[in-house]
Amino acid sequence: MMIENYQFHYSFSGNPDKPLILFLHGFMGNSHEFDQAISLLSHEFYCLAVDLPGHGETKVLGGDECYTMPNTAHAIINLLDDLKITKCLLVGYSMGGRLALYLTLHFPHRFSKVLLESASPGLFTEAERVERVKRDEQIARKLERSVNKNDFAVFLSNWYNQPIFGCIKNHSQFQHIIEVRLQNNPIQLAKSLRLMGTGSQHSLWTKLKENKNPLLLLAGEYDEKFIDLNTKMTKNCKYCLLKVINSSGHNIHFENVKSFVENLRRFFVEVESFKCLIEL
């Protein structure tokens, strides 16, 4: 769908008569990121999956500013407007989780409940952001040198050696993740990383206190970094609960899709208030 400066690629799945969930994928993912989970939810929900700028088949028609967090968030709201979706449930993973948090803090009336998987509000200090920008620039340059499919596959294999991903490379379907990631354009991914990476994102830590929506945070048991980050989030954010998911690292919806779906279903269907949320 054409939105000013964007040509979004997206897909709907499930039952149109059921509550709608907007799914936002992580860095190097695309609208197929949650396919396995969506297939298990299709009878109970209507699922909208979107390719974010720099990913999949979505095309950015404007300048580099279109890749930033604020402009991407406004474009998503405009997409929902054009699709005549006034309010929905929201799920975001990693980069998509940072975007989902931005959306719920700036457009709280558009989302009834929000599930954030392996996500953060950004970095605490300017010094941390400066350091992260340097690191992201190094990664972006490696991506730009990986335009050959074999080189890109090597980059991806090295990417998943990071401790936050736990034992994901031992998963029987790990090659499927690589195949999905290989559908992306490394040049576009580099642009996304530079302009919407954790280093370039303005911190949302202070704004967390303004949260008005029930938030469920999911972190994998092998992802100590995000368990720590999400624990701090619960102390700074109203209506927020952390669940640590067994047998998974950063990518919970892939490594333990059953538990991911169970937590999502219970949160979105059974939880009517924050009092119920803390009993999850």
Q: What is the CATH number of domain 2-122+201-277?
A: 3.40.50.1820
Give the C-alpha separation, 163 to 225, whole Å: 9
Give strand pairing partners of 115: 91, 216
SS3 26: coil
Q: How many CA atoms lie within 13 A of 46 on its CB side?
A: 10
Give the C-alpha separation, 191 to 163, whole Å: 24
The number of beta carbons lying within 10 Å of the beta carbon of residue 170 is 8
The number of beta carbons lying within 10 Å of the beta carbon of residue 270 is 11
How much is the pTM?
Answer: 0.95
Tell me the CA distances in angstroms from 56 to 178, 229, 238, one per residue in order: 14, 29, 34
Q: What is the pLDDT of residue 3?
A: 80
Give the C-alpha separation, 85 to 253, whole Å: 25
Q: What tokens appear for 127 in the block?
A: 């010094």
Secondary structure letter of residue 269 according to DSSP: I
Give the C-alpha separation, 253 to 94, whole Å: 11
SS3 95: helix
Amino acid at 214: P
Q: Tens-of-pLDDT digits for all 280 residues of the chain?
A: 768 899 999 999 999 999 999 999 999 999 999 999 999 999 999 999 999 999 999 999 999 999 999 999 999 999 999 999 999 999 999 999 999 999 999 999 999 999 999 999 999 899 999 999 999 999 999 999 998 999 999 999 999 999 999 889 999 899 989 999 999 999 999 999 999 999 999 999 999 999 999 999 999 999 999 999 999 999 999 899 999 999 999 999 999 999 999 999 999 998 665 545 555 5
